[in-house]
Amino acid sequence: MMPFRRSDIAGSPGRTLLRWLAAAGLAVDAYVHADLAEGYDAVVNSVSQGDLFRIEAALAALAALLLVVWPRRSTIAFAFLVAAGGLAALLLYRYVDVGPLGPLPNMYEPVWFTSKQVAAVAEAVAALATGWLLLMRRRVLA
């Protein structure tokens, strides 16, 4: 198996497009979570849901920045985990009343509203783009 090099990620127009698409999705995710955080400060166990939204916003912003300025396999994997994890949490708490878990509050919210839909689409786009990048390998000519 060939080692994964920086040029494998940043080299082709298709890979560059996927990186920028993922970065855009993560940037939208960061904005939505930062914008909504204050409204969820009242949902508290040991940690407030607003704080969790701020953490998600910070991680998504960091992942987007890393995809743009330091494209490496590790940063793509980090971005994938942020996007896929955010989407998984959003869908879980949309459809399942998990209740409080340890320090986490009960974040069950069985409705779709515009900001939640935007975040879900942005996270899905970022997860798909980064997932595809992780699966791609540079073809080597013999």
In contact, 136 and 15? CB cutoff 8 Å? yes
Q: Is 113 helix (H, G, I), strand (E, B) or coil?
A: coil
- What local confidence, expressed as pLDDT, does residue 12 receive? 84
> Is the sign of the CA dihedral 34, 36, 38, 44 positive or negative?
negative
- What local confidence, expressed as pLDDT, does residue 141 receive? 39
Of 54, 92, 75, 51, which Cα lies nearest the Cα of 126?
A: 75
Instruction: Note the pLDDT tens digit of each residue in 33-53.
Output: 999 999 999 999 899 999 999
User: For the residues 107-125, what does the mean pLDDT come to?
Assistant: 97
Instruction: Note the pLDDT tens digit of each residue in 21-32.
Output: 999 999 999 999
In contact, 34 and 57? CB cutoff 8 Å? yes
Distances (CA, A) of 108 to 11, 24, 55, 56, 142: 42, 27, 18, 17, 54
DSSP letter at 70?
Answer: -
In contact, 36 and 115? CB cutoff 8 Å? yes
Query: How large a percentage of the chain has pLDDT more than 70?
Result: 88
Q: Where are the alpha helices (DSSP H) in the chain?
A: 6-10, 13-36, 49-69, 73-95, 114-135
Distances (CA, A) of 100 to 38, 94, 129: 20, 14, 32
